């Protein structure tokens, strides 16, 4: 296979669903060797089978990014299998909308920060050690428009950990980009607008809320996962060889207003 990231080794968390899954499909088409990870196994099994049956190369791991040990062993397994690590996509993420109803605000806050922010940090911590061995790499974090501006009215009471976690990712991206620039490791984030995935399904299933969200995007629609994956492919590829430390909106103009 030939492509824009031919023979590069990419580790993708949250690979079983939504944006992570779409990145997996696109990256395989562009020649990457894939290490797919998610806390849930079911949909990754089919995904990996399909990629491999179409001439790609992938394997799956059940891993929880809130566990430092699991992050470490996931990175080590990937490195042992392919002998290098070039790309990390931190797409594992959660929203407090899906937290157990009996959790109080503090427990929800800790959970979302743990998965979204700390998980991305720990995955990067272990990946960077391996990337240094091959003189560089590209890390792509999934931040959000909500890391750049406040949440749309009605979606946060001010204590919602989701925007807090995404704002943390935006600053972590800049900090790591500066720290590891000389090691040839580029660190960037994507800031998607509202995109159709299981994460946003409870919002888009409500037709009034769906229309309201559409009206907040100047392009008059929400995003598709493939549009986010194409931006990730650009940042992962050598086409973005002088780009580091950016938080790139892919948002139909949401943050331009």
Ligand X SMILES: NC(=O)c1ccc[n+]([C@@H]2O[C@H](COP(=O)([O-])OP(=O)(O)OC[C@H]3O[C@@H](n4cnc5c(N)ncnc54)[C@H](O)[C@@H]3O)[C@@H](O)[C@H]2O)c1
Q: What is the H or E stretch that residue 124 is in?
A: helix 119-133
Beta carbon nearer to ligand X, 67 or 134: 67
| φ, ψ dihedrals at 199, nearest 5° | -65, -35
Contact region for ligand X (CB under 6 A) — 11-19, 72-80, 121-129, 237-245? 11-19
- Judged by CB under 6 A, the residue of 199, 232, 246, 248 near ligand X is 199
Q: Is 189 in the site for ligand X (CB under 6 A)?
A: no
Sign of the CA dihedral with 13 first, then 126, 167, and 176 last: negative
Q: Is 48 in the site for ligand X (CB under 6 A)?
A: no
51, 82, 124, 125, 227 from 88: Cα distances, Å: 18, 14, 7, 11, 18
Q: Is 23 in the site for ligand X (CB under 6 A)?
A: no
Q: Which parts of the chain are beta strand (E)?
A: 9-13, 33-38, 57-62, 87-90, 137-142, 185-192, 247-250
Q: Is 138 in the site for ligand X (CB under 6 A)?
A: no
Site string for ligand X, 96-115 (x = CB under 6 A): -------------------x
32, 65, 179 from 125: Cα distances, Å: 22, 12, 12
250 SS3 class: strand
Q: Is 57 in the site for ligand X (CB under 6 A)?
A: no
Mark whether 162 is an active-site residue.
Answer: yes
Our separate counts of H helices and E strands in the chain read 9, 7
Contact region for ligand X (CB under 6 A) — 9-17, 102-110, 173-181, 240-248? 9-17
- Judged by CB under 6 A, the residue of 195, 237, 244, 247 near ligand X is 195
Beta bridge partners of 187: 139
Q: Which residue of the set 82, 98, 125, 162 is catalytic?
A: 162
Active site residues: 162
Residues lying near ligand X in the complex (CB under 6 A) are found at: 13-14, 16-20, 38-40, 64-66, 91-94, 115-116, 119, 142, 144, 192, 194-195, 197-200
């Amino acid at each position: 296979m030939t492509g824009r990231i031919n023979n590069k080794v990419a580790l993708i968390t949250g690979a079983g669903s939504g944006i992570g899954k779409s990145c997996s499909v696109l990256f395989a088409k562009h020649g990457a060797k894939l290490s797919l990870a998610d806390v849930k196994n079911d949909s990754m099994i089919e995904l990996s089978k399909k990629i491999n049956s179409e001439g790609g190369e992938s394997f799956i791991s059940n891993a929880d990014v809130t566990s430092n040990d699991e992050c470490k062993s996931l990175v080590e397994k990937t490195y042992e299998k392919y002998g290098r690590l070039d790309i990390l996509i931190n797409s594992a993420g959660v929203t407090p909308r899906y937290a157990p109803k009996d959790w109080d605000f503090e427990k929800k806050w800790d959970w979302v920060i743990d998965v979204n922010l700390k998980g991305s940090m720990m995955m990067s911590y272990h990946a960077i050690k391996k990337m240094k061995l091959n003189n560089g790499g590209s890390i792509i974090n999934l931040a959000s428009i909500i890391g750049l501006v406040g949440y749309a009215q009605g979606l946060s009471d001010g204590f919602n950990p989701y925007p807090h976690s995404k704002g943390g990712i935006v600053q972590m991206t800049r900090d790591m980009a500066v720290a590891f620039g000389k090691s040839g490791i580029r660190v960037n984030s994507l800031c998607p607008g509202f995109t159709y995935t299981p994460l946003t399904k409870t919002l888009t299933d409500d037709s009034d809320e769906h229309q309201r969200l559409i009206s907040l995007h100047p392009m008059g629609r929400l995003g598709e996962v493939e549009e986010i994956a194409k931006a990730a492919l650009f940042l992962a590829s050598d086409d973005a060889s002088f780009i580091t430390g950016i938080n790139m909106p892919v948002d139909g103009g949401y943050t331009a207003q």
